[in-house]
Homo-oligomer: A and B are copies of this chain.
Amino acid sequence: MAEQKIPYKIYLAEDEIPKQWYNVRADMKTKPAPLLNPATLEPMTFDDLRPVFCDELVKQELDDDTAYIDIPQEIQDFYKMYRPAPLVRAYCLEKKLQTPAKIYYKFEGNNTSGSHKLNSAIAQAYYAKKQGLKGVTTETGAGQWGTALSMACSYFDLDCKVYMVKVSYEQKPFRREVMRTYGASVTPSPSETTNVGRQILERYPGTTGSLGCAISEAVEVATTNDGYRYVLGSVLNQVLLHQSVIGLETKAAMDKYNITPDIIIGCAGGGSNLGGLISPFMGEKLRGEKDYDIIAVEPASCPSFTRGKYAYDFCDTGMVCPLAKMYTLGSGFIPSANHAGGLRFHGMSSTLSQLYHDGYMRAVSVEQTSVFEAAEQFARVEGILPAPESSHAIRVAIDEALKCKETGEEKTILFGLTGTGYFDLVAYQKFNDGEMSDYIPTDEELQKSFDSLPKVDK
């Protein structure tokens, strides 16, 4: 077959947007460990989870067997507003690096929420609407998830209550305004509006909040108000399922041009982007059809995979959520004030944790300053200002491309460019002014945090 010229951007046609999500759990020999009821330490059942999540989403959460799940037509229609997302050949970056490697990235930032989060937000809002609910509650850190959810809720005329980590609420007033423009109410967390918020404020006066704490508040509001459910933008199996649209589109675009990646790279906070991007490739790897070098990239300041424990832990600070088995730094871990808000979660998707534990992928941690160096280098030649989170993947993609330059290997590198950095310019300013710091937790700090892990013999 004659070699085709690869365009700068590969766009699938509208009718090539996936019509089914892919559930990687179906192909896992060792399934991810189940969520546990924190009171009984028994696996959470459908009925246990119904007060928290929409029924259909509970089904998806617990379904380890169905490989392909139909995407409802209403969600497909919404996807058409901003998908297919382009798969970009980074010709300009390759040239700048003078590498023989071929670099591709899947760009998910071409929508107003600025990231891939919309893929799951619209699905979760749809199922809430279909169940006849009034609204949903959630937490947001950096604000990408909250923005995505507010967009999705405004599309389906659902009420949307967002608990935003207080430090982000104050540092990112513009994020708040986007959410308000889409009709959401935004409350800084911890707040006086919930029991758990009041308790946390009493215990830690002046705290600037954390994702774990905002989750606790959002869950409380959902479970104590009629017609509301809680929705989450990462970590959960259902979220990875929805995000598989990223990987499926990427694979379809690559197949079209007979491209096979050698290395697949994604940043990992809770795992939504990485899990989505790699899913169909991981499926092939799990089925023994193909092999890929799959790399999770995390900040050195919040190194769940590379320095965490694989253990049952709470997903939230208030300890109201089920226990999840995952790589975790302990639910009490407070990462240093790095600028990748989306990568500051103490835990990690159970599915990805199991895959990592079983050796199907590896993990790398990178320091903040080197991440912004990569971000700037990328922005200047590829013309996109990347989000700090996404820039973790860029860092490692560049590192791998530079290794190829040394060895002469023509590897094909694929990475996920999850979003844009328009709302992260305080971070860029710090970098531009040479005032960015790198902080890596000490072994003692981590050990202290591990001591708070719940005792679960599973």
List chain A positions with a Cβ less than 8 A from chain B: 7-9, 11, 13-14, 78, 80-82, 92, 110-112, 114, 118, 151, 154-155, 173-174, 177-178, 180-183, 376, 379-385, 420, 422-423, 425-426, 428-429, 431-432
Contacts and interface: CB of A to CB of B under 8 A. Distances in A.
Copies of this protein, total: 2
A183 B376 CA distance: 9
B8 A379 contact: no
Given A177-B429, A379-B181, A384 B9 contact: no
A169 to B, nearest CB: 14
Nearest to A89: B80
Given A180-B429, A180-B432, A181-B376, 20 more contacts: A7-B80, A8-B80, A8-B81, A9-B80, A78-B383, A82-B383, A111-B383, A112-B383, A154-B380, A154-B381, A155-B383, A177-B428, A177-B429, A178-B385, A178-B425, A178-B428, A181-B385, A182-B379, A182-B380, A422-B423
A154 B437 CA distance: 26
A112 B379 contact: yes
A155 B81 CA distance: 30
A169 B111 CA distance: 26
A425 B82 contact: no
B422 A155 contact: no
A9 B15 CA distance: 11
13 contacts: A8-B81, A9-B80, A78-B383, A112-B384, A114-B422, A154-B381, A155-B383, A173-B429, A174-B174, A177-B432, A178-B428, A181-B385, A183-B380
A11 B11 CA distance: 8
A415 to B, nearest CB: 17
A381 B153 CA distance: 10
Given A180-B432, A380-B183, A432-B181, A420 B92 contact: no
Contacts of A78: 383
Given A383-B81, A383-B111, A422-B422, A181 B7 contact: no
A151 B94 CA distance: 18
A414 B312 CA distance: 56
Given A177-B425, A177-B429, A420 B9 contact: no
A13 B7 CA distance: 9
A431 B422 CA distance: 21
B81 A385 contact: no
A257 to B, nearest CB: 13
Contacts of A428: 177-178, 180-181
Contacts of A383: 78, 81-82, 111-112, 118, 151, 155
A111 to B, nearest CB: 6
